[in-house]
């Protein structure tokens, strides 16, 4: 199954845009559930006001992600009056939904793990000093390592070391994803204020249909040509 990471952002927009992010996130997740796509909410950047979000990052997993996202990726417009600033005359607010280009996840492969048997230290008397039961496991690709001396059994310590090393590699992958998300700050800066993918209106946040055909534009061009002939 394919995975994609999606970011919903207010850009450098004001608190109204942060409110729109929070509303769009709800609609987006509802749409995901209807499409039976598995999702994980990775990160939410809370806005200055209650019920607002500067951005949200979601990971999707499933088949048919491209056609699903086709109707979401891009600029989202909300037409409505601000409830945060009553005297603000602006009625058009924009946010963006972008796909984050993911790096390949680091996998824990057996041929990339190096084990070292070392003597345990600390309390335990002569047995600890004579037996090399502690295990250090090193992931050679990243340099991540763990030291385990929980048991007197070297075999048991090796099993524990593998488990803890996997946990550290998972943490490493999550940290790399967070860094990647931070690098997408350009999405916040380059938010396009036009040609919206979806339009919502009013305080109840109703979806407005967008006529994507060029029929009206062609008709307008014909009318202009006719006018020119008469002129």
85-136 pLDDT, tens digit each: 988 899 999 999 988 876 667 778 888 899 998 876 555 444 444 456 899 9
Answer for the pair 98, 186: CB distance below 8 angstroms, yes or no.
no
Q: How many CB atoms lie within 10 A of CB 180?
A: 15
Strands (E), 63-183: 74-79, 92-100, 113-118, 134-139, 144-148
Distances in Å between the Cα of 128 and the Cα atoms of 117, 146, 160, 173 are 13, 19, 18, 36
Which element (helix H / strand E) includes 54?
strand 53-62
Q: What is the pLDDT of residue 173?
A: 82
Q: What is the pLDDT of residues 26-58, one digit of tens each?
A: 999 999 999 999 999 988 999 999 999 999 999
Could you tell me where the DSSP H helices lie in 74-151? 126-130
Burial zone of 9 (CB within 10 Å; 0-12 exposed, 13-18 middle, 19+ buried): buried
Most confident of 76-80, 141-145, 166-170, 219-223: 76-80
**For a pLDDT cut of 70, what percent of the chain falls above it?**
76
What is residue 227's predicted lDDT score, i.e. its pLDDT?
44
Quote the pLDDT of residue 222: 52
Closest CA to 140 of 179, 174, 117, 169: 169
Is the Cα dihedral 141, 185, 39, 174 positive or negative? positive
Half-sphere exposure of 205 (CA within 13 A, CB side): 16
**Per-residue pLDDT for 183 more than 90?**
no
Chain segment 9-24, per-residue pLDDT in tens: 998 889 999 999 999 9
* pTM of the entire predicted model: 0.60
pLDDT level of residue 61 (50, 70, 90 thresholds):
very high
Examine the pLDDT at 59 and tell me if it is beyond 60.
yes
pLDDT at 213: 46
Which residues in 154-222 belong to E strands, given as ranges? 198-201, 206-208
């Amino acid at each position: 199954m394919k995975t994609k990471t999606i970011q919903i952002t207010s850009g450098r927009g004001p608190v109204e845009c942060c409110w729109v992010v929070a509303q769009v996130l709800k609609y987006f997740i509802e749409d995901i559930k209807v499409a039976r796509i598995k999702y994980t909410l990775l990160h939410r950047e809370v806005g200055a006001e209650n019920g607002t979000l500067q951005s949200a990052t979601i990971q999707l997993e499933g088949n048919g992600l491209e056609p699903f996202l086709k109707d979401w990726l891009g600029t989202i417009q909300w037409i409505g009056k601000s409830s945060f600033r009553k005297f603000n005359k602006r009625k058009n607010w924009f946010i963006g939904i972008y796909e984050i280009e993911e790096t390949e996840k680091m996998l824990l492969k057996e041929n990339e793990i190096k084990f070292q048997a070392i003597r345990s230290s600390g309390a335990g008397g002569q047995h600890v000093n004579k037996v090399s039961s502690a295990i250090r496991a090193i992931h050679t690709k990243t340099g991540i390592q763990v030291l385990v001396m929980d048991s007197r059994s070297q075999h048991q310590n090796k099993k524990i070391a593998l488990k803890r090393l996997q946990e550290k590699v998972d943490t490493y992958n999550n940290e790399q994803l967070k860094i990647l998300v931070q690098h997408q700050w350009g999405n916040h800066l380059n938010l396009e204020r036009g040609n919206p993918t979806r339009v919502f209106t009013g305080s109840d946040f109703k979806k407005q249909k967008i006529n994507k055909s060029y029929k009206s534009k062609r008709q307008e061009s014909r009318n202009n040509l006719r006018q020119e002939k008469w002129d």
